[in-house]
Amino acid sequence: MNRDMFTSAILLAAFALTGVSLLFLVHAATKERIENNERALLLTQLNEIVPSGTYDNDPVTDIRTIAAPEALGSDEPLTVYRARRGDKTVAAILTTVAPDGYNGAIRLLVGIRANGELAGVRAIHHRETPGLGDRIDAARSDWILDFNGKSLNQSQPGQWRVKPDGGSFDSFTGATITPRAVVKAVHKALVYFDENQDFLFDAHIEKSK
């Protein structure tokens, strides 16, 4: 009887070990693929803002992590991706958050050229209402492309608002909260860039995760 119990225990342990080993192998095999897919998606998003032909570094790894809750809208440190060509700075793409969307925080990529002009803005994560606030999504409407080429120099501070608030940016019929939040966040990112450009482009490179 004791021997049977011993054999069962050994078998059980062997099954458990095989199971754990299999899980470990599957995890190891998929982890790298998931990381590669995430990296490719990020690069596609960055290249929509700053075309790949305009820089020769790897902006996915040439990053700075910045904690600037007031300017960038989040208590968590956020990543800034840098595009360079040779020793010239091309653009910084700031991850920034509009905390006051209709359905919560809206995560944005704000690309700013070295001359202070917006290279482009994209909403990369939000929960705004389909058919209303989700028109900030480049896949849903061209609204977000209106930021292209704008800068602090070319406009009065008051223009960095949606039209119902007296500014120059269109809002959506019956949905002003979302575009208002995005315009505010992009403006804050531009001001932050203007005040911290040297620090943002500092060649100090962090290891990406």
Ligand X SMILES: Cc1cc2nc3c(=O)[nH]c(=O)nc-3n(C[C@H](O)[C@H](O)[C@H](O)COP(=O)(O)O)c2cc1C
Contact between 106 and ligand X (CB under 6 A)? no
Comparison of 53 and 174: residue with beta carbon closer to ligand X: 174
Token pair of 111 as six digits: 């690309």
The minimum distance between CB 162 and ligand X, in angstroms, equals: 9
78 alpha-carbon distance from chain centroid:
8
Contact between 102 and ligand X (CB under 6 A)? yes
Q: Give the count of residues interacting with ligand X (CB under 6 A).
A: 12
Kindly report the number of other CB atoms within 10 A of residue 202's CB atom.
Answer: 11
Fill in the per-residue mask, 25 to 64: x = in contact with ligand X (CB under 6 A), - = not in contact: ----------------------------------------
Contact between 86 and ligand X (CB under 6 A)? no
Fill in the per-residue mask, 128 to 167: x = in contact with ligand X (CB under 6 A), - = not in contact: xx--xx----------------------------------
What does the binding site for ligand X look like in residue numbers (CB under 6 A)? 102-103, 128-129, 132-133, 171, 174-178
